[in-house]
Copies of this chain bind each other. A is one copy, B any other.
Amino acid sequence: MARIKTEKNISRKDVIVTKAAALFREKGFKAASMRDLAESVGVEAASLYNHIKSKTELLHELCFGVANRFMQKIDEIEAGPGTAIEKVEKLLRFHINEMIEHYEEVYVSDREWKHLSDPYLSNFQNQRRIYRKRFAAIIENGIRNKEIKKIDAPTAVLIMLHAVSGIESWHRSTQKISAESLEDNMITILVGGLVNR
Contact = CB atoms under 8 A, between A and B. Distances in A.
Contacts of A162: 162-166, 169
B111 A151 contact: no
Contacts of A188: 149, 151, 193
A117 to B, nearest CB: 12
A192 B165 CA distance: 20
Q: Is the interface of A mostly helix, strand, loop or mixed?
A: helix
A114 interface: yes
Copies of this chain assembled into the complex: 2
B30 A185 contact: no
Nearest to A183: B155
A189 B190 CA distance: 7
A190 B156 CA distance: 10
Given A115-B31, A149-B192, A163-B163, A158 B169 contact: yes
A161 B192 CA distance: 17
Given A31-B115, A111-B111, A194-B189, A166 B156 contact: no
A152 interface: yes
Nearest to A177: B152
Given A28-B30, A158-B166, A169-B158, A185 B152 contact: yes
Interface of A: 27-28, 30-31, 111, 114-115, 149, 151-152, 154-156, 158-159, 161-167, 169-170, 173, 177, 181-182, 185-186, 188-194, 197
15 contacts: A28-B115, A149-B188, A152-B181, A155-B177, A155-B186, A158-B166, A159-B163, A159-B166, A159-B186, A162-B169, A163-B166, A188-B193, A190-B193, A192-B192, A193-B194
Given A152-B185, A162-B162, A191-B193, 7 more contacts: A28-B114, A28-B115, A111-B111, A152-B177, A161-B166, A162-B169, A189-B190
Q: Which 3 A-B pairs have the closest CB atoms?
A: A193-B193, A162-B166, A30-B30
